[in-house]
């Protein structure tokens, strides 16, 4: 990455740059890697002086001067020895900062696709009404991360006010450090740990939400913003303070609370009992790295398995344990493509904040580009760049994964689960009522005379009937009768046998049975085992049954007889024999 003349020599990318470049290559015309910010500088800014300050920052910062070439699918990085800062000055003096015109300009500009071979940033200086100035800087993620954006802002204003500043380390130093550390024992142990995490069994559950599967080939996303209220922020900080002693810092404690609420949301909204979330680590582990501008973050997966009776408190403990392991093994240069492909949800907890420099108060707007990685369905990012004390939650929701109403629903449910955790950590996840008032109004319209939806499930009602009216007839087939007590007992016994054969939450069991007592018992048993059932009409052609079983990924088939042919890929059991045992 050393330059000479107009253009520096080509080099390979850092690990984090290469992984990011691979993602961008899947959607080259999407601005999903834009990191745009609008810094409100207030009034009385000297434009000429500010542009000169940016020239000096550009001269000292090799990350800003990086460009990327693509030769037969292989990227290389170059550092331009000299780069003229083409900063557009935009005259919007007829507009105030909060005007729709300014908002539209910023939104449209932040979605421009950057030409990585020419320049990986786009800068502009906006002059608004009453001599109000806004500095706009959009950098491709290949040359920056959240902390780097703050560093660039700080160096810009230090140069503007002619303040003393410690010499900034070059990004080339970061590259050499990664190369030297790639074969250390710590790096080798980290790679072995992450390989083990990938090999660890994860329940084969769909990656969708509310029954919708994401289209992994698209990038368009809805961006929803929620600034946490003061009461929520204080409640979270108080809860986090009680756990910070065992987690090294208050920031880590807060990180775990936000992440626990997200894991609970994925469990409730997506039916996921095994949750894997990608977490970016900043990798600025010493003083020089903390002063280094450029992309240092790498993403590693955090995995948590949720029990049927999980409480917020027990889930928080799991998240804390996995988080400490994540921080221990998340060594720079050890992430790879399989790790990055192992999750479809990303959680980013950003601790970087803008400092007050000179007489300019910290205030910025983070402009998300409305696109996310092709393999991601959801991103939640928490930041307080302007140091207000009230973090802002950014939900980026894949449009093809969530219809508009469901995106709002997910945000509401996350906040409801966060509130429930802060109110009583010992509450079970399944006990939280997530219905909005609009949901209740719609339900009442469909169910006149009833005020609130029932909370009991079908299995709850069956158990209640078996307890209160066990001798009453529940099922009748010809001369055969089954009481509520017998139905409860038979279905529970069959559920136990299914569980012993490995059936669990998220599995599918196929039913190839005629209308009968056995069919009803089997349906209830499968539900008790936590699985879904796939009904197959025994009169269907054999090939159609095979196709349906394979398409559903059924773990077991409950058939009418041992001679009933279904599909050899799934274990086949005879329902009548299992019920005879029961």
pLDDT for the residue 3? 35
- With tokens 């491709």, the residue in question is 140
What is the pLDDT confidence band of residue 144, given thresholds at 50, 70 and 90?
Answer: very high
For residue 39, give every residue at least 6 positions away whose Cβ sits within 8 Å of its Cβ, in sequence order, or none: 134, 135, 136, 137, 153, 354, 363, 364
Separation CA 174–CA 76 (nearest Å)? 16
Mean pLDDT of the chain: 87
For residue 185, give every residue at least 6 positions away whose Cβ sits within 8 Å of its Cβ, in sequence order, or none: none
DSSP 379-432: EEEEE-TT--SS-EEEEEEETTTS-HHHHHHHHHHHHHHHHHHHH-TTSBGGG-
pLDDT per residue as tens digits for the range 393-410 = 999 998 877 766 677 888
Judge whether residue 245 has pLDDT over 70.
no
> Of 24, 119, 37, 18, which Cα lies nearest the Cα of 350?
37
Please give the helix or strand (H or E) that residue 106 lies within, else none: helix 100-110
pLDDT for the residue 40? 96
Judge whether residue 24 has pLDDT over 90.
yes
Range with the lowest mean pLDDT among 210-219, 339-348, 371-380?
210-219
What is the pLDDT confidence band of residue 205, given thresholds at 50, 70 and 90?
Answer: low
pLDDT for the residue 273? 84
Separation CA 107–CA 236 (nearest Å)? 32
Separation CA 174–CA 179 (nearest Å)? 9
Range with the lowest mean pLDDT among 62-71, 101-110, 211-220, 234-243?
211-220
| Cα distances (angstroms) measured from residue 309 to each of 261, 488, 532 | 16, 21, 19
For residue 162, give every residue at least 6 positions away whose Cβ sits within 8 Å of its Cβ, in sequence order, or none: none
DSSP 448-479: TT-SS-----HHHHHHHHHHHSTTSEEEEETT
Q: Which is higher by pLDDT, 244 or 501?
A: 501
> Of 550, 476, 471, which Cα lies nearest the Cα of 510?
550
Separation CA 421–CA 423 (nearest Å)? 5
**303 and 196 Cβ atoms separated by less than 8 Å:** no
Separation CA 4–CA 557 (nearest Å)? 69
Mode of pairing for the β-strands spanning 132-140 and 121-128: antiparallel
Judge whether residue 565 has pLDDT over 80.
no
pLDDT for the residue 35? 97
| Cα distances (angstroms) measured from residue 359 to each of 41, 54, 342, 529 | 9, 18, 46, 64
Average pLDDT over residues 139-168: 94
Separation CA 122–CA 444 (nearest Å)? 52
Average pLDDT over residues 369-382: 93
pLDDT for the residue 574? 66
pLDDT for the residue 2? 33
pTM (2 d.p.): 0.81
**Three-class HEC string of 555-575:** CEEEECCCCCCCCCCCEEEEH
Q: What are phi and psi of 419, to 5 degrees?
A: -60, -45
What is the total residue count of the chain?
A: 582
Residue 92: strand, helix, or coil: strand
Separation CA 493–CA 578 (nearest Å)? 9
| Cα distances (angstroms) measured from residue 199 to each of 158, 277, 320, 491, 499 | 49, 16, 21, 35, 23
Q: How many angstroms from the chain centroid is the CA of residue 232?
A: 21
Separation CA 46–CA 125 (nearest Å)? 11
Judge whether residue 80 has pLDDT over 90.
yes
Separation CA 576–CA 519 (nearest Å)? 10
**333 and 15 Cβ atoms separated by less than 8 Å:** yes
Judge whether residue 433 has pLDDT over 60.
yes
pLDDT per residue as tens digits for the range 488-540 = 998 999 989 888 888 887 788 988 888 888 889 999 999 998 888 999 888 88
Separation CA 438–CA 444 (nearest Å)? 10
Q: Which is higher by pLDDT, 560 or 458?
A: 458
Residue 269: strand, helix, or coil: helix
Judge whether residue 8 has pLDDT over 90.
no
For residue 477, give every residue at least 6 positions away whose Cβ sits within 8 Å of its Cβ, in sequence order, or none: 516, 517
Separation CA 223–CA 395 (nearest Å)? 6
Q: What percent of the chain has pLDDT over 90?
A: 56
């Amino acid at each position: 990455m050393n330059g000479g003349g107009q253009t520096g020599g080509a080099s390979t990318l850092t690990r984090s740059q290469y992984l990011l470049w691979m993602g961008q290559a899947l959607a080259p015309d999407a601005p999903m890697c834009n990191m745009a910010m609008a810094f409100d500088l207030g009034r009385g800014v000297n434009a000429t002086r500010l542009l000169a300050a940016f020239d000096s920052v550009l001269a000292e910062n090799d990350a800003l001067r990086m460009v990327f070439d693509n030769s037969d699918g292989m990227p290389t990085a170059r550092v331009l020895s000299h780069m003229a800062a083409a900063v557009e000055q935009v005259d919007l003096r007829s507009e105030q900062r909060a005007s729709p015109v300014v908002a539209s300009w910023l939104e449209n500009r932040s979605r421009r696709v950057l030409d990585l071979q020419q320049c990986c940033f786009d800068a502009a200086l906006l002059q608004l009404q009453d001599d109000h100035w806004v500095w706009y800087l959009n950098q491709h993620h290949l040359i920056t991360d959240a902390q780097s954006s703050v560093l660039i802002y700080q160096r810009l204003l230090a140069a503007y006010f002619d303040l003393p500043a410690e010499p900034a380390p070059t990004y080339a130093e970061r590259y050499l450090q990664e190369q030297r550390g790639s074969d250390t024992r710590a790096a080798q142990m980290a790679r072995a740990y992450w390989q083990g995490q990938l090999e660890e069994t994860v329940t084969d559950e769909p990656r969708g939400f509310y029954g919708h599967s994401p289209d992994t080939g698209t990038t368009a996303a809805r961006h929803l913003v929620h600034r946490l209220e003061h009461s929520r922020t204080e409640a979270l900080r108080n809860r986090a303070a009680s756990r910070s002693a065992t987690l090294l810092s208050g920031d880590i404690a807060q990180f775990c609370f936000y992440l626990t609420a997200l894991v609970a949301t994925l469990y409730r909204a997506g039916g996921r009992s095994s949750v894997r979330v990608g977490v970016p680590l900043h990798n600025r582990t010493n003083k020089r790295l903390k002063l280094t501008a450029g992309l240092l973050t790498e993403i590693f997966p955090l995995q948590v398995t949720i029990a049927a009776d999980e409480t917020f408190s027990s889930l928080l403990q799991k998240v804390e344990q996995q988080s400490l392991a994540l921080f221990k093994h998340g060594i720079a240069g050890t992430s790879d493509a399989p790790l990055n492909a192992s999750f479809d949800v990303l959680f980013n907890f950003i601790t970087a904040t803008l400092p007050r420099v000179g007489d300019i108060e910290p205030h910025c707007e983070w402009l998300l580009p409305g696109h996310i990685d092709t393999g991601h369905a959801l991103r939640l990012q928490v930041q307080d760049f302007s140091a207000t004390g009230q973090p802002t939650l950014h939900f980026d929701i894949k449009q093809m994964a969530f219809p508009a109403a469901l995106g709002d629903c997910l945000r509401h449910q996350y906040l409801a689960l966060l509130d429930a955790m802060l109110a009583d950590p010992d509450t079970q996840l399944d006990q939280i009522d997530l219905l909005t008032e609009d949901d209740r109004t719609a339900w009442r319209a469909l169910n006149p005379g009833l005020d609130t939806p029932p909370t009991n499930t079908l299995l709850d009602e069956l158990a209640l009937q078996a307890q209160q009216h066990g001798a009453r007839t529940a099922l009748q087939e010809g001369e055969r009768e089954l009481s509520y007590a017998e139905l409860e007992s038979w279905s529970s016994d069959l559920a136990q046998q299914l569980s012993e054969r490995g059936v669990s939450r998220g599995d599918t069991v196929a039913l190839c049975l005629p209308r009968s007592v056995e069919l009803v018992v089997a349906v209830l048993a499968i539900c008790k085992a936590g699985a879904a059932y796939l009904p197959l009409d025994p009169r269907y052609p054999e090939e159609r049954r095979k196709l349906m079983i394979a398409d559903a990924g059924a773990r077991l088939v409950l058939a009418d007889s041992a001679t009933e042919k279904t599909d050899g890929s799934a274990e086949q059991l005879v329902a009548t024999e299992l019920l005879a045992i029961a």
